[in-house]
């Protein structure tokens, strides 16, 4: 299968460089490496002269909110226009394991109408002096416990599309067209990948968890709940509720409410800002 790896970048240049190095060191190098730069003109300089060669697609940013859904659609459109048969989406923070692309391609053949999801392991902070070494990554962290983790060479049918996440997944070109891409109403942080899982479910596309296709998520500071993304999460939750009839990201919404930042309006049956 002609494979394209698609990632989105807005900053995180060191993370992007290690991802590119991981792709170049793997057992299977993609025919295309498509990097969608979301309002970041410096991405090209990070990637130039390195293997695999990267095609940089520009995605303007409006109103300061990262257009993650639109950027993924742009990356997929570029890859498909250049002959991709298998689309592999990797978060910019994710470094592919040695056989990630090979395993996705192996599993795509008997599971042509599935979202294929490999494991993701969250790495500890890197060595301040030397950073991460590719050879060390598998020993640094186990797969995230909130998602299935089949063993190498195994797959597991998924029954809950709410577990889909966009950190590392693959699908055939035909499956991409069947689902119809990401909903571009979402902008900023949260919701667009949960929506995509529901679009796949509605289209009759299955979820398959793939063993032996690990990705390693590079460390960066986070907050829980992500207070800096409150407005995005509230807005995107409203969009999701209108489309699917239930509230996503409920843990974060409840945490914001506990802090007095939002409240549930029993008349409108909606979350709203407290000020």
Give the CB-side neighbour count of residue 262, counting CA atoms within 13 A. 25
E-strand stretches of 23-162: 32-38, 55-59, 86-90, 94-96, 114-122, 155-158
Plot region of 61 (φ>0 → left; ψ -120 to 50 → alpha; else → beta): beta
Q: Are residues 166 and 94 in the same domain?
A: yes
Joined together, the tokens standing for residue 71 give 């950027």
User: CA 85 from chain center: how many Å?
Assistant: 19
Residues 90, 27: Cα–Cα separation, whole Å: 17
Q: Within the chain, what is the greatest distance between any pair of CA atoms?
A: 59
Mark whether 210 and 160 lie in a shared domain: yes
Residues 204 and 80 in one domain: yes
Do 266 and 210 lie in one domain? The reply is no
- DSSP H or E segment with residue 179: helix 173-179
Please tell me whether residues 177 and 205 are part of one structural domain. yes
* Pair 246, 208 in one domain: no
Q: If we measure between CA atoms, which residue out of 61, 70, 10, 17 comes closest to residue 37?
A: 10
- Same domain for 162 and 259? no
Residue 67 belongs to a domain with what CATH number?
3.90.550.10
Q: What is the enclosing helix (H) or strand (E) of 5? A: strand 3-9
Residues 202 and 235 in one domain: no
Same domain (yes/no): 247, 185: no
Residue 222: inside a domain, yes or no? no
Q: Are residues 22 and 149 in the same domain?
A: yes
For the whole model, what pTM was predicted?
0.97
167 and 67 belong to one structural domain: yes
- Domain carrying residue 28: 3-217
> Tens place of pLDDT for every residue, the chain, 275 residues?
899 999 999 999 999 999 999 999 988 899 999 999 999 999 999 999 999 999 999 999 988 899 999 999 999 999 999 999 999 999 999 999 999 999 999 999 999 999 999 999 999 999 888 899 999 999 999 999 999 999 999 999 999 999 999 999 999 999 999 999 999 999 999 999 999 999 999 999 999 999 999 999 999 998 889 999 999 999 999 999 999 999 999 999 999 999 999 999 999 989 999 97
Residue 56 forms beta bridges with which residues? Answer: 35
């Amino acid at each position: 299968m002609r494979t394209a790896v698609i990632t989105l970048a807005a900053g995180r240049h060191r993370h992007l460089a290690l991802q590119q190095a991981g792709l170049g060191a793997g057992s299977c190098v993609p025919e295309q490496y498509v990097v969608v730069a979301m309002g970041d003109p410096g991405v090209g300089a990070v990637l130039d002269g390195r293997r695999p060669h990267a095609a940089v697609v520009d995605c303007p940013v409006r109103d300061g909110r990262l257009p993650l859904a639109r950027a993924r659609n742009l990356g997929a459109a570029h890859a498909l226009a250049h002959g991709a048969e298998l689309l592999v989406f990797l978060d910019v923070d994710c470094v592919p394991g040695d056989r990630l692309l090979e395993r996705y391609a192996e599993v795509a053949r008997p599971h042509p109408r599935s979202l294929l999801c490999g494991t993701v392991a969250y790495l500890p902070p890197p060595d301040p002096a030397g950073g991460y070494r590719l050879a060390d990554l598998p020993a640094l962290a186990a797969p995230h416990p909130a998602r299935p983790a089949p063993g190498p060479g195994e797959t597991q049918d998924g029954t809950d599309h709410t577990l889909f996440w966009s950190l590392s997944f693959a699908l055939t070109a035909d499956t991409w067209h069947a689902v119809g891409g990401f909903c571009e109403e979402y902008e900023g942080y949260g919701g667009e990948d949960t929506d995509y899982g529901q679009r796949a479910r509605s289209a009759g596309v299955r979820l398959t968890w793939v063993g032996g296709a690990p990705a390693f998520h590079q460390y960066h500071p986070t907050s829980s709940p992500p207070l800096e993304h409150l407005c995005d999460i509230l807005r995107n939750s409203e969009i999701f509720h209108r489309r699917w009839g239930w509230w996503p990201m409920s843990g974060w919404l409840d945490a914001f409410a506990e802090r007095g930042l939002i409240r549930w309006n029993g008349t409108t049956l909606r979350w709203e800002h407290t000020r």
